[in-house]
């Protein structure tokens, strides 16, 4: 019983670290592309790149002590919050203020939220790796905190995908996939968190969401290729086409959700 439980905890810790790394990688590439398109007019636009790079380095290796790692997580959260304020200000200062057009074409409000999630998931990964029982009042061993974070993150990512796919008028039927499958997965996971017990359907839905992120990269790459000049004109089309780094956020968060299910199931062994 104990050996099986320990293995599940180690597997869960690896899944959370993998999810944190993938989420931070999505933030790094996406923010680099979007802020490059904005010509880095504000020097603060470099901060998400620095924070997400540090998160990747810490999650992919054992580099750094507990203090620097905790400081990096805190910095990512602070930069994410500040970015959320800047992006909301950017939308609000446009003519028409909080209109669909401004949410479509202004600074993406959901992007800084991804950095917030990356910082929170990275802190969770560190806590599990070090067999830490809690981060402040948040208990880690039960898996409920990881599950709640993953369900919330998936729901937010769905909202961002839905907004951008609405801008694209859902011209491809597959564009409905990110706004149908992940919400069901998030809802199922939320129910499991409330019951403190994993379900087989959640395992299946979250596994499918992991795959959805990879498939989305393929579809977005195809969308870039369909623009004039295709990949030969990659410098322009990467910025004008669908964001290739966005779908892996679903994969990263679904991995965290699977880790939560493992932790919740450990008590039943």
Residue with tokens 């491809």: 172
- Number of structural domains the chain divides into: 1
> Is the pTM above the cut of 0.85?
yes
Cβ contacts of 115 within 8 Å, gap of 6 or more: 27, 31, 48, 51, 52, 76, 79, 80, 83
Query: What pLDDT sits at residue 138?
Result: 64
Q: 77-99, pLDDT tens digit by residue?
A: 999 999 999 888 888 888 877 77
Please state, as a whole number, how many other Cβ atoms lie within 10 Å of the Cβ of residue 12: 27
User: Residue 138 is encoded by which pair of tokens?
Assistant: 């948040």
**Do 143 and 263 contact (CB within 8 A), yes or no?**
yes
Distance CA 231, CA 237 (A): 7
Q: 15-51, pLDDT tens digit by residue?
A: 999 999 999 999 999 999 989 988 898 899 999 999 9
Q: How many helices (H) and strands (E) does the chain have?
A: 10, 2
| Enclosing domain of residue 6 | 2-132+141-266
Distance CA 235, CA 259 (A): 38
Q: Give the alpha-carbon dihedral of 50, 29, 148, 262, to 10 degrees.
A: -100
170 φ/ψ sector (left φ>0, alpha ψ -120 to 50, else beta): left
Q: What percent of the chain has pLDDT over 90?
A: 55
Is pLDDT at 1 greater than 60 in this prediction?
A: no
């Amino acid at each position: 019983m104990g050996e099986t439980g320990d293995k599940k905890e180690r597997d869960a810790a690896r899944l959370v670290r993998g999810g944190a790394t993938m989420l931070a990688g999505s933030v790094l590439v996406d923010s680099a592309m979007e802020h490059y398109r904005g010509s880095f007019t504000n020097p603060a636009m470099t901060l998400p790149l620095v924070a997400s790079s540090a998160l990747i380095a810490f999650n992919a290796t054992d580099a750094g002590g507990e203090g620097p790692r905790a400081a990096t997580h805190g910095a990512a959260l602070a930069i994410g919050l500040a970015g959320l304020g800047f992006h909301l200000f950017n939308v609000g200062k446009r003519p028409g203020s909080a209109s669909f057009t401004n949410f479509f074409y202004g600074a993406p409000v959901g992007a800084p939220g991804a950095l917030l999630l990356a910082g929170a998931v990275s802190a969770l990964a560190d806590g599990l790796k070090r067999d830490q029982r809690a981060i402040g009042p948040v208990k880690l061993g039960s898996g409920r905190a990881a599950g709640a974070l993953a369900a919330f993150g998936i729901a937010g990512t769905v909202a961002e995908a839905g907004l951008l796919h609405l801008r694209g008028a859902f011209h491809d039927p597959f564009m409905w996939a990110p706004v149908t499958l992940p919400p069901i997965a998030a809802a199922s996971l939320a129910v499991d968190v409330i019951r403190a017990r994993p379900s087989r359907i959640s395992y299946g839905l979250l596994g499918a969401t992991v795959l959805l992120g990879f498939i989305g990269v393929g579809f977005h790459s195809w969308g870039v290729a369909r623009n004039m000049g295709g990949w030969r004109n990659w410098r322009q089309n990467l910025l004008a086409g669908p964001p290739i780094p966005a779908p892996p956020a679903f994969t990263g968060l679904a991995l965290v959700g699977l880790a939560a299910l493992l932790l919740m199931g450990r008590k039943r062994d």
